[in-house]
Structure 1
Amino acid sequence: MEVLDVDTLVCGGGMSGMACAAFAAEAGAKTLVIEKQGGIGGSSSLSAGMFWAPHTYDKLRSWVPNGDPELQRAWLDEYLPAVQWMRENGIPTAKRFDGIMTIGIGFPIQMSFLHKSHQQRIAASDNGSRILTNTSIVKLTQDDPGVPGSRINGAIICEHNPGGSVIYYQVKAKLVVLATGGFQGSPSMTAKYLGHGGDNIFVRSNRGSVGDGLSLAIAAGAGTSKGLNTFYGHLLAAPLRAEDASPHDYLPLAQYQSKYCILLNEAGRRFTDETMGDEIVNQYLAKQEKRRGFLLFNEITRRQHCMGALFPNAGDVDRLQKARDYGCNVGKASTLGELFEILRTWGVDHVQAADTVEKYDQVVRHGQRNLGLDAPVGRAGAPPSPLVDGEGPFYAMEVQPSITFTYGGISIDTQGRALTRDKTIIPGLLVAGVDAGGFSNLGYTGGLALAFVTGLWAARSVARELGLVEPCLPAADARDSRPLQSRL
């Protein structure tokens, strides 16, 4: 095999891998990025670019108490400086949005501009740094092969050429960064970690994130975080198979309005508090028998929450019509009786559904208690509007859970260094993005922004190891006493 000598090998060309590689290359590290797909960007290229984070650390801890507090605080401290970095580096960044993911704020960014900027920074480094696409990692190499936790000194990689030929390379690297995007694309791993039926959840991400980073790190002696059975995703229109949906329609097919709707299972019962947010109830639906859900709502909810863009870059679309275009179950009724008849034709226990809607109305509108509802009402916000005859039309649509990326992953510290099960550092091995666990656990801590910041952490560790100047984010202006949050 041909031998490639680099300072840093970055495995994965998505949000975190590209951020790490660009910062490391700028610092002076000869960096090789390998991406198994034909282009860079990963799942971030399919997103609306919402660069979000929890509003405060206290809110983050209350929402995700089972996450690692040190990791959470360290990343949140760098969130707003990261937003400022976007602005100062010419990445189109929209104004602040409040109420993102129930507890957060967000600044939508243009993903294509960011990825192009990363590529330009890597190319301009003039130290031999480069990107190889259609190239995947086969295995990590260690100073003491077979000894868990011994120093990582490189990897064997495999390049797939257009003609079908395959070329293997031995990469000698002072540091290896795993940023492969989680394991949601691997049915065997989702079945193992997410439980029964985990291998049959709609995957709304790039096809390359199949657990390479997690598998290789564990084989090298790394430990794992809590929350391996939790994941981020949205309720999608149903019935719909992943192979039948265009990735560009993942956003319009997501039913973000679920917190304003009554959500039932096939048995006609509520099974979770809808106000917990789409990213939470999505996981609860994945645990239901047959994983079939049904959103019930009125005309006001349709007009206010089912049409138009949620935020810049999200797409101005009628999500009910998009679902109809794909042949998904969407029904409209002038009376509740007609609504329950629609549910009956879809195989829902319509008698129980009618009883649930009636009891829900009695609790929410009339304040009655102890009516035997199967799930709490309004713990995280104003409960969805009751459905009352005479206030139609009413709507019903079938939904299913989906998975965008996994929450649990490799155990790391606040410098992005991989840790063994007993929290010992594995020399030479760094982890970024959703390959790293510990931040989220049922509740969602962050996606794009978290990936960017952890990529920066890994780049700093590269610079520190090589004796280079560490990359940094914009510091607060000492002449401006206002918090950075109020200035953005």
Structure 2
Amino acid sequence: MALPSEVEVLVVGSGNAGFAAALSAAQSGARSVLLIDKCPEDWAGGNTYFTAGAYRIAHGGLADLLPIVNNVTSEQAAKIELAPYSEADFANDMTKVCMGRSDPELSRTLISDSNSAIKWLAKNGIRFQLSFNRQAYEVDGKIKFWGGLHIKTQDGGKGLIADYQAAAKRHGIQVSWSTALTGLQLDPTSGNMVAAVRVDGTETSLRAGAIVLAAGGFEANPRMRSEFLGPGWDMAMVRGTPYNTGDCLELAIRELDASPVGNWSGCHSVAWDANASANTGDREASNEYTKSGYPLGLMLNVDGQRFVDEGVDMRNYTYAMFGRAILAQPEHTAFQVWDATATPWLRPEEYRAERVEHITADSLEELAHKCASRGGLRDPAAFVQTIHEYNEAVYAHRRENPNLKWDPAVKDGLSTQSRSRKLALAKSNWALPLDKGPYLAVRVTCGVTFTFGGLRVDPHSAQLLRASTGRPVPNVFCAGEMLGGLFYNNYPGGSGLTAGAVFGRRAGKAAAEAVRSRRPELSPSLASKL
């Protein structure tokens, strides 16, 4: 498409937050909405494309969710155990995993808007499902959902972006690919923003009544990762788009006096297939390179030592920080290990042989030998000894607690810590012995997803705030990974996509309202087109 010279609302970024903002602006009265992204069209969707599509929302239980999902039969519904997840539950999880540091107003807005924002998306054609494959286990004939994270989009991030693109087309939203924002200036006379953009390498400019910045963090920029996240982070693998390089963050700070806030040394990072590409996600494999089955087994480093409590909490509250723990290990690598009892519980989309290299053996000694020869394990004897000591501690705990039952859908209390034996590093829940062959190991590293540092916004309108005065930047709004102050150290799984929808919707609405209030002041050429 030919880039227009003027537009009412310009949205920068084609991920969840950007598309939510564009839809909201169009529905809130903006007569022309343009979404741009510096990536080519075959990279549409930013990091959203690579997600599992999970949204964390406050809700009233199964009855509240059934009207917006499309994958539950009446027979299934009768077997489902899915408790309400209240706003108080959501707030407690935010406080717990973000160490009490999340901006209270941003957090309140996220939580209170979460349910209505996702139902708004559903009305706009986003297809939601109960997350049977990722967030439920069938135990004793019941389908038990766990961890406060219950819905996802059909076909994950791929389906989400396809649905967003269809919705944008229905609303007449223009989209321009290979179009990078390179500069922003305020026209003090009209209040419009003058945006410098590069389209397929050619510099041009356009005027916009309001702008929503939703261009992602700096997770694909090894220089910025090393500068802000710390030494060694240039070695992390990029889970998603290679185009989230922090350009718009730096531009907003430099040219708009935007205020950087939040946890700039923090990020979402996961256990990731060590054989994946280092610098970009795979559009076909997408989120399937994530390796989140560690609560069912153990993780050992190349020296044969455990380094995290794999059962300290539900996976939803640990997976986004265990990537950091792996990165801190020698050679930034670890092995996830299970025996024949646990392997049937692993999710096929992550662990099938077509997706990840399997290291298998009938004995622990043989497994250690193969991990050494094929995966870089440096101390096979320590590897075997660590697992033997773990097994002894598991059985000691079972002897003292014969009534406890293994249940992956709750924190079951099966651990390695008993009166007679304690490990220096516990496994606090789901401590199954690893003593039944055949055994399986896979090699993992750290995959970085998104960065937590961002820009200060008004929590109600998502309007950008100045660093020098704390006052709003006229007609500029911000959402998605660029918004700072919400997540610290960790995040409750699924709350990132929810935040993008909540603040994207608010930013789009506020941008449209800002334009509507100033229409008589818009340039004569734009006014004549309205």
TM value normalised by structure 1 = 0.81
Residues 19, 118 of structure 1: 8 Å contact kept: no
1:262 Cα shift? 0.6
Q: Call closer, same or farther: CA 1:48–1:460 in 2, change over 3 Å.
A: same
Aligned with 1:34 (options 26, 36, 40) = 36
**Distance of 1:429 and 1:408 partners within structure 2:** 18
Matches within 5 A, 1:382-397: 382-388=429-435, 391-397=436-442
Q: Which residue in the other structure is 1:353 paired with?
A: 383
2:238 aligned residue: 203
Instruction: Tell me whether 1:191 sits opposite 2:226 in the alignment.
Output: yes
Residue in structure 2 matching 1:45, options 49, 53, 57: 49
Q: Per-residue displacement from partner, 1:110-148 (whole Å, max 9, x unpaired)?
A: 31442233322441xxxxx5222111011121458xxxx
Please name the residue that 2:9 is paired with. Answer: 8
Could you tell me which residue of structure 2 aligns to residue 234 of structure 1? Answer: 270
Alignment of 1:24-423 (within 5 A): 24-29=25-30, 30-39=32-41, 40-53=44-57, 55=85, 56-64=90-98, 65-95=100-130, 98=135, 102-109=147-154, 110-123=159-172, 130-142=174-186, 153-160=193-200, 166-219=201-254, 220-242=256-278, 246-275=282-311, 276=313, 277-307=318-348, 316=349, 318-324=351-357, 330-345=358-373, 346-367=376-397, 368=418, 373=423, 375-378=425-428, 382-388=429-435, 391-414=436-459, 415-421=461-467, 423=470
- Give the distance between the partners of 1:10 and 1:16, measured in 2 at CA: 10
* 1:179 positional shift: 0.7
Deviations 1:355-404 (A, max 9, x none): 322332333331346978453422xxx2342323xx22212221111012
Question: Counterparts of 1:221 and 1:101 in 2: how far apart (Å)?
Answer: 43
Rounded Cα–Cα distance in structure 2 between residues aligned with 1:294 and 1:253: 14
1:476-487 → structure 2 map (5 Å cutoff): none
Classify 1:374/1:409 alpha carbon distance in 2 versus 1 (closer, same or farther; 3 Å): farther
CA gap of 1:426–1:184, structure 2 versus 1, over 3 A, is same
Counterparts in 2 of 1:323 and 1:394: CA distance versus 1, 3 Å: same
Match of 1:327 in 2: none
**What's the CA shift for 1:71?**
0.9
Q: Is the 8 A contact 2:271 2:292 kept in 1?
A: yes
Could you tell me which amino acid in structure 2 is paired with residue 189 of structure 1?
M
Contact 1:3 1:169 in 2 (8 A): no
> Residues 34 and 321 (structure 1 numbering): CA distance in 2 closer, same or farther, change over 3 Å?
closer
Report the CA distance between 1:459 and its aligned residue.
1.1
Equivalent residue letter for 1:61:
T
Give the Cα–Cα distance (whole angstroms) in 2 for the partners of residues 83 and 62 of structure 1: 24
1:51: how far off? 2.8
What residue in structure 1 maps to residue 24 of structure 2? 23
Q: In 2, Cα distance between the equivalents of 1:341 and 1:28?
A: 65
Partner secondary structure for residue 57 of structure 1: helix
Q: Give 5+ residue unaligned stretches, structure 2.
A: 59-84, 137-144, 398-417, 518-530
CA distance in 1, matches of 2:174, 2:280: 35
TM-superposition CA deviations, 1:96-120 (whole Å, max 9, x none)? 6656894433232431442233322
Letter in structure 2 aligned against 1:352: A
CA distance in 2, matches of 1:249, 1:96: 19
Runs of 5+ unmatched residues, structure 1: 124-128, 145-150, 161-165, 308-315, 325-329, 469-488
Conserved? CA contact 1:297–1:385, under 8 Å:
no
Q: Does the CA contact (< 8 Å) of 1:61 and 1:69 recur in 2?
A: no
Instruction: Specify the SS of the correspondent of 1:263.
Output: strand
> What is the identity, as a one-letter code, of the residue corresponding to 1:322?
R
Equivalent residues of 2:9, 2:209 under 8 A apart:
yes
In structure 1, what residue type is equivalent to 2:504?
G
Distance in 2 between the 1:433 and 1:47 partners? 14
In structure 2, C-alpha distance between the alignment counterparts of 1:87 and 1:352, rounded to whole Å: 52
Contact residue 154 and residue 176 of structure 1 kept, 8 A: no
Instruction: Note if contact 2:192-2:207 (Cα within 8 Å) is conserved in structure 1.
Output: no
CA shift, 1:195, in A, is 0.9
Distance 2:194 2:14 in 1: 17
1:426–1:435 Cα change, 3 Å: same
Residue 126 of structure 1 corresponds to none
State the Cα deviation string for residues 31-86 of structure 1 (Å, max 9, x = none). 22211122242222233322334742222222223222221221121221123223
Q: Deviations over 1:406-429 (max 9, x none)?
A: 222112221212223464332232
How far is 1:456 from its partner?
Answer: 0.5
In structure 2, C-alpha distance between the alignment counterparts of 1:340 and 1:369, rounded to whole Å? 30
Query: Structure 1 259/230 Cα, relative in aligned 2: closer, same or farther at 3 Å?
Result: farther
**1:426 is matched with which residue: 473, 486, 503?**
473
Q: Measure the CA separation in 2 of the matches of 1:135 and 1:372.
A: 58
Aligned residue in 2 for 1:147: none
Equivalent pairs counted in the alignment come to 434
Distance, in Å, in 2 between the alignment partners of 1:463 and 1:103 is: 34
With over 3 angstroms needed to count, the CA separation of the structure-2 counterparts of 1:240 and 1:206, relative to structure 1, is closer
Q: 1:133 to 1:172 in 2, by over 3 A?
A: same
CA distance in 2, matches of 1:320, 1:370: 40
Counterparts in 2 of 1:34 and 1:104: CA distance versus 1, 3 Å: same
Q: Secondary structure at the match of 2:454?
A: coil
| TM-score (norm. length: structure 2) | 0.75
Q: 1:370 to 1:181 in 2, by over 3 A?
A: farther
CA distance in 2, matches of 1:38, 1:447: 24
RMSD: 2.8
What residue identity is the alignment partner of 1:416? A
Query: 3-state DSSP class of the match of 2:338?
Result: strand
